[in-house]
Amino acid sequence: MVGNKTFANVMMLKKLLVFTLIMFAFGFALVPFYEKFCEVTGINNLLQPDVQAKEIRVDENRWITVEFDANSRGLPWQFKPLQNNARIHPGEPVNVIYEITNNSDREINAQAIPSYSPRFLDKYLKKFECFCFTKQVLKPNETRQMPVQFVIEPGLPEDIHTVTISYTFFELPDGTAAAVKR
Amino acid sequence: MRRLQVSGLSTDKDHVSIWQVAKAVLSAFMGIRKKSDLEHDAATLKPMHVIIGGIIGGLLFVIGVFSVVKLVIS
Amino acid sequence: MAAVHGDAHGHEHDDHHPSGIMRWITTTNHKDIGTMYLWFSFAMFMVGGTLAMGIRAELYQPGIQILEPELFNQFTTLHGLIMVFGAIMPAFVGFANWQVPMMIGAPDMAFARMNNWSFWLLPVAATLLVGSFFVPGGAAAGGWTFYPPLSTQGGLGVDLMIFSVHILGASSIMGSINIITTILNMRAPGMTLMKMPMFVWTWLITAYLLVLVMPVLAGVVTMLLTDRHFGTSFFNAAGGGDPVMFQHIFWFFGHPEVYIMILPSFGIVSEVIPTFSRKPLFGYSSMVYATASIAILSCVVWAHHMFTAGMPTVGQLFFMYATMLIAVPTAVKVFNWTATMWRGSMSFETPMLFSIGFIFLFVIGGFSGVICAIVPIDIQVQDTYYVIAHFHYVLVSGSLFALFAGAYYWIPKWTGRMYNETLGKWHFWLSMFFFNLTFFVQHFLGLAGMPRRIPDYNLQFADFNMISSLGAFGFGLTQLLFLYIMISCIRSGDKAPQKPWDGATTLEWTHLPTPAPYHSFEKPPIVK
């Protein structure tokens, strides 16, 4: 009787331990699940090109100033847009050229992460081409010019007159997966 | 007569209807259950039924709330 | 029936356990371990309370007076961590250790040695946590939810916190495995699941929640650790990770955790109220079902903690509706407690006072919770003192008041002595007054826009902050009265009869002498 009870307890312990391990693994499984979920639902879509809408009405009555900002974080890179700002109409396609130079004598992988001000600009900003969609590899002392092509939709609230588009390059350590898996 | 009732109960035990599990799970979600029903459940339902019922109930709950949300914002 | 009283003697042969400090280090007795859990959690309550006093002293007036902003942030962070993981959770495990075996007629916990181990992990974890104040850079300062990027950038203090959370998690998991096995396998003959006292039921469900979500917490802090030291980028945007994902995984643990801290207090209150109303618990089966329901629903509402983190409208509405629906089973419980008191012959001893105070204040906390669940309001009050007021109404006047109720209710059984009823009532009324003085005004501060976790504030908030600080100092001092009541009860209280509460019906009152013998129910009682 006592032996039975101990046996039953140990069986229960084993089951619960296995369950605990499964839940520990589940915590890690949430990572790919989260990425897949964002990809399928199109949430958090910073790194994928948007499809060009056929007809975007250009609102010629409004002017918006777009400021371009470029940073590289802890990288021996020089990174700047060829123009600091642009005055455009909402709905008008814009082309900007950015230039990066690798000032070091080693090959560096890096990834640019965009950020916008105001924060909700991402709802109205459609990017068709961007160097931030893929990781960039620069050979020692290489210089490269890269275009960004985008449209700011006319739905942007009326009280916004200036927006900022900012890119920051982060180095990707060797061996870590590239940022852009998609 | 009594014997009949007892045997009636035991056949009940062998055939737990989906409806009974559903009722138990639904009332668990509400948090309201009659004592007599509960005793009947406790006597006839197996834990496995309740767990499976609970998981299905949880899924239905999520789908239900989700479709209400879809309805609201459509 | 009478045979079970014989348990107290006739076991001298296995009673020669070591004395002194070794008795406590090597003990495998559920009562000893329960006692240690309770003292440990009270010590942590004092440490966390001291941090709270520091916070409120700084906020007594606008401007920076006592705590530098960095230290203030460490205080708020460690106050939260210590109160949640060091005070409330171990206190409930302590109650479970003492009460679960006695309430189901088991001689001890299922895994006595593991029980010892899961307790002794706690002082280690607490030392790491409190010790992190003294390492270079100080303790973790990014809030008790340790969101990255702050927690990936902090110093050594964050690493100590991560290890501490690992250890506390392991301890909780072992504790809950022990409790589940005890409840499912060790019940006395005749003690069917549906005859178990409500406290045992709530702990069974809580323990399942713990093994469900604690490993996820362990996983997420492990990811944090590898992000900090091993070059992974789970939460680092530059490496392709996402800091918002941390919030999702953390709150997948964090919301059930909220219910882990409240379900056992539902259980305690469900024992105390029938006793002092001298009526059986109204709607026992509904209570069981409602507890299960709350537990299940608690796993699908986590994102209501992060409405402002960026989420599509569909998600916001889903989590808003799901959250509001949890109010249904919770309300079922409140109505059942009220119905239990209805037409009962009630008496108002200290445990009952704390239980009624619990219902009253928990309902306020529950309602402010429903208000916070509404997305447009939440976006307004996010990270303000309104949220602080809400969760202190749930955790202090919820969990803590229920713990006080349970301590007063069972202390005669544990020690064989009665506490001082007059002082107990003073403790209740002072706690009640000062608690509301502290936290009720924080609703107004939050609605007026005072942000949380900031050591300084605008002049317009000065009056309410001063009131709140005065209340906090009073509440803190009142808890010293509790310590005094407990110590004087243990040392020199009047002898308690076997059943000091005439309405009590559970096994520990009806089948065991007072104080409960060191070994109880070695021969299982027969439950009819």
List chains adjacent to chain B, taking adjacency as at least 3 C-beta pairs closer than 8 Å: C
Nearest CA in chain B to C334: B31
Residue-level pLDDT at C296: 85
Smallest CA-to-CA distance from A179 within C262, C100, C241 is with C241
How far is C393 from C412, CA to CA, in rounded Å? 28
Residues of B in contact with C289 (CB under 8 A): 27-28, 30-33, 38
- Give mean pLDDT, residues C434-447: 96
Which class for C357: exposed (0-12), middle (13-18), buried (19 or more C-beta within 10 A)?
buried
> Tokens 């309410």 belong to which residue?
C464
Local structure of A161: helix, strand or coil? coil
Residue-level pLDDT at A174: 60
Inform me whether the pLDDT recorded for C49 exceeds 90.
Answer: yes
User: Side-chain half-sphere of C340: how many Cα atoms within 13 Å?
Assistant: 29
Q: Which residues of C are catalytic?
A: 79, 108, 144, 171-172, 255, 257, 259, 270, 304-305, 330, 333, 452
A near B: at least 3 beta-carbon pairs less than 8 Å apart: no
Write the single-letter amino acid at C344.
Answer: G
For residue A44, what pLDDT band results from cuts at 50, 70 and 90?
low
- Give mean pLDDT, residues C266-276: 96
pLDDT tens track for A118-129:
878 887 888 888
Nearest CA in chain C to B31: C290
Region class of C283: left (phi > 0), else alpha (psi between -120 and 50), else beta? left
Write the single-letter amino acid at C340.
Answer: T
Residue-level pLDDT at B10: 40
Compare C137 and B47 and report the one with higher pLDDT: C137
For residue A173, what pLDDT band results from cuts at 50, 70 and 90?
low
- Contact in structure between C188 and C105 (CB atoms under 8 Å): yes
- Give mean pLDDT, residues A42-70: 76
For residue C323, what pLDDT band results from cuts at 50, 70 and 90?
very high
For residue C418, what pLDDT band results from cuts at 50, 70 and 90?
very high
State both tokens at C357: 């105070």
Torsion over CA: B32, B36, B42, B45 (sign): negative
Residue-level pLDDT at A47: 64
- Give mean pLDDT, residues C292-296: 85
Mean pLDDT of chain C: 91
Which of C181, C186, C249 minimises the CB distance to A30? C249
- Contact in structure between A93 and A149 (CB atoms under 8 Å): yes
Inform me whether the pLDDT recorded for C120 exceeds 60.
Answer: yes
Residue-level pLDDT at A180: 42
pLDDT tens track for A118-159:
878 887 888 888 888 888 888 888 888 888 888 888 888 888
For residue C111, what pLDDT band results from cuts at 50, 70 and 90?
very high
> Tokens 């090597």 belong to which residue?
C26
pLDDT tens track for C171-218:
999 999 999 999 999 999 989 888 899 999 999 999 999 999 999 999
What was the ipTM of the complex prediction? 0.86
List chains adjacent to chain C, taking adjacency as at least 3 C-beta pairs closer than 8 Å: A, B
State both tokens at A130: 């961007």
Which of B33, B58, B66 minimises the CB distance to C296? B58
Question: Which of C293, C301, C314 has the most B C-beta neighbours within 10 Å, making it the best mutation to test the interface with B?
Answer: C293
C near A: at least 3 beta-carbon pairs less than 8 Å apart: yes
State both tokens at C35: 């006692």
Inform me whether the pLDDT recorded for C80 exceeds 90.
Answer: yes
Inform me whether the pLDDT recorded for B6 exceeds 70.
Answer: no
Residue-level pLDDT at A53: 64
For residue A52, what pLDDT band results from cuts at 50, 70 and 90?
low
Inform me whether the pLDDT recorded for C57 exceeds 80.
Answer: yes
- Contact in structure between C85 and C165 (CB atoms under 8 Å): yes
Please work out, in degrees rounded to the nearest 5, the angle formed at the alpha carbon of residue C319 by the alpha carbons of C314 and C321: 95
Packing angle between helix C69-81 and helix C156-185, nearest 10 degrees?
Answer: 10
DSSP C515: S
For residue C283, what pLDDT band results from cuts at 50, 70 and 90?
confident
